[in-house]
Amino acid sequence: MSAANPPTAQGLSSAGALSREDAAEAPGRNGASGSQQPETNVPARERWVSGLTGGALVLTGLRMRSLPGAVLALVGGAMLHRGYTGHCYGYQALGINRARGEGAAPEEYFERGIHVAESVTINKSAEELYRFWRDLENLPRVMDYLQSVRKIDDKRSHWAAKAPAGVTVEWDAEIINDEPNALIAWRSLYPASVDNAGSVRFIPAPGGRGTEVHVSLDYIPPAGRVGWAVAKLFGKDPAAEVREDLRRFKAMMEAGEAPTTHGQPHGKRGILGSVMATD
Query: Which one-letter DSSP state was computed for residue 198?
Result: E
- The answer as to whether 44 is a domain residue is no
Q: Where residue 191 sits, what CATH number does that domain have? A: 3.30.530.20
**pLDDT tens track for 27-83:** 333 334 444 667 788 876 678 778 888 888 898 989 899 998 899 999 989 988 888
- The answer as to whether 249 is a domain residue is yes
CA gap 129, 181 in Å, rounded: 8
- The answer as to whether 110 is a domain residue is yes
- The answer as to whether 86 is a domain residue is no
Contacts of 210 (CB under 8 A, 6+ apart): 121, 122, 123, 124, 125
- The answer as to whether 148 is a domain residue is yes
Q: Are 218 and 196 in contact (CB under 8 A)?
A: yes
CA gap 259, 253 in Å, rounded: 12
- The answer as to whether 273 is a domain residue is yes
pLDDT of residue 127: 97
- The answer as to whether 37 is a domain residue is no
Claim: this prediction has a pTM higher than 0.75 = no
- The answer as to whether 236 is a domain residue is yes
**pLDDT tens track for 210-268:** 999 999 988 776 655 555 555 554 456 778 888 999 999 999 999 876 555 444 444 44
Number of domains in the chain: 1
CA gap 247, 250 in Å, rounded: 5
CA gap 251, 258 in Å, rounded: 5
Q: Is the pLDDT of residue 9 over 50?
A: no
Tell me which residue range forms the domain holding 178. 2-19+106-277
